């Protein structure tokens, strides 16, 4: 069982309802990238605009917070009706407490790491999280090249989950996913895939999501 999370970062922001409608029947989750211009050199949604997307989304929403001081700044997001919230380990001073806060708000809690952060830094929190997000590009922008060198992180995370009987937890990859790289990430052990520009560049976005799903599993 795999999941495709549609990122709308490279969708047409002037017509989001229609852009989201194009993929609503095909994707499993809507992946919303929140950037504050500090943790990453780009700014997207603030809590108010994120809330309006969450409230109107036909798909459950996966919030990816690329924001500094995430322990504190996560608060308004815990009050929205999202399905999950990912916070970056690099932006946390107390990962365990913040993951607990997210879970207590009824959402799945995910710990994300940038390409330069070793996967070993996630290991102490395996019991506290519902998903590990291994970034396969430097966070900040869509349309970048997939960093294959991140695949050993995915494999090691999968090994830990299997060894500890924790395979109900998800491993997500985000950045540079296309028909080829999704297979690579699947074979490394990922089960949850963020797809952004590859879908919106396609003349048939819904069909592309379906295609990615079959490319991943080889079915
Ligand atoms: C990048 C974002 C991604 C981005 C992926 O910082 O976190 O979710 O939208 O876009 P693509 O699939 O184009 O790399
Ligand atoms: Zn993202």
Which CATH number belongs to the domain containing residue 99 in this structure? 3.20.20.70
**Nearest alpha-carbon partner for 58 in 21, 6, 26:** 21
Rounded to the nearest angstrom, the gap between the alpha carbon of residue 155 and the centroid of all alpha carbons in its chain is 17
Rounded Cα–Cα distance for residues 146 and 179 (Å)? 12
Q: What is the mean pLDDT of residues 199-214?
A: 98
* Percentage of the chain exceeding pLDDT 70: 100
Q: What is the mean pLDDT of residues 183-205?
A: 98
Bridge partner list, 65: 34, 87
Is the CB of residue 194 below 6 angstroms from any atom belonging to ligand 1? yes
3-class secondary-structure state, position 93: coil
Q: What is the mean pLDDT of residues 165-182?
A: 98
Is the CB of residue 33 below 6 angstroms from any atom belonging to ligand 1? yes
Q: Which two tokens stand for residue 88?
A: 């970056």
Rounded Cα–Cα distance for residues 44 and 128 (Å)? 28
Is the CB of residue 7 below 6 angstroms from any atom belonging to ligand 1? yes
pLDDT at residue number 93: 98
**Residue with token string 């993951």:** 99
pLDDT at residue number 54: 98
Is 111:172 a contact under the CB 8 Å cutoff? no
**Atom 6 (ligand 1): residue with closest C-alpha?**
139
Segment 88-102, tens digit of pLDDT:
999 999 999 999 999
Rounded Cα–Cα distance for residues 213 and 215 (Å)? 6
| Full domain range(s) for residue 65 | 3-217
Domain count, the chain: 1
Strands 84-88 and 131-135: unpaired
Stretch (H or E) spanning 207: helix 205-217
Centroid of ligand 1 to alpha carbon of 162 (angstroms)? 27
Catalytic: 14?
no
pLDDT at residue number 142: 97
Sign of CA dihedral 97, 88, 104, 50: positive
Give the DSSP letter of residue 7.
E
Q: What is the mean pLDDT of residues 208-214?
A: 98
Total-model pTM? 0.98
């Amino acid at each position: 069982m795999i999941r495709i999370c549609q990122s709308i970062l490279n969708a047409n922001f002037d017509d989001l309802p229609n852009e989201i409608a194009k993929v609503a029947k095909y994707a499993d989750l809507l992946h919303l990238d929140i950037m504050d211009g500090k943790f990453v050199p780009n700014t997207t949604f603030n809590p108010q605009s994120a809330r309006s997307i969450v409230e109107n989304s036909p798909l459950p929403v996966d919030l990816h917070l690329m924001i500094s001081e995430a322990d504190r700044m996560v608060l308004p997001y815990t009050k929205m009706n999202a399905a999950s919230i990912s916070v970056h380990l690099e932006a946390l001073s107390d990962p365990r407490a913040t993951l607990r806060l997210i879970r207590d708000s009824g959402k799945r809690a995910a710990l994300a790491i940038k390409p330069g952060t070793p996967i070993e830094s996630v290991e102490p929190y395996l019991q506290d999280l519902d998903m590990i997000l291994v970034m396969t590009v430097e966070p900040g922008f869509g349309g970048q090249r997939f960093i294959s060198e991140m695949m050993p992180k995915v494999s090691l995370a999968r090994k830990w989950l299997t060894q500890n009987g924790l395979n109900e937890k998800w491993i997500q990859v985000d950045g540079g996913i296309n028909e080829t790289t999704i297979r690579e990430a699947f074979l490394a052990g990922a089960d949850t895939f963020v797809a952004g520009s590859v879908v919106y560049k396609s003349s048939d976005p819904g069909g592309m999501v379906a295609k990615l799903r079959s490319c991943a599993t080889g079915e």
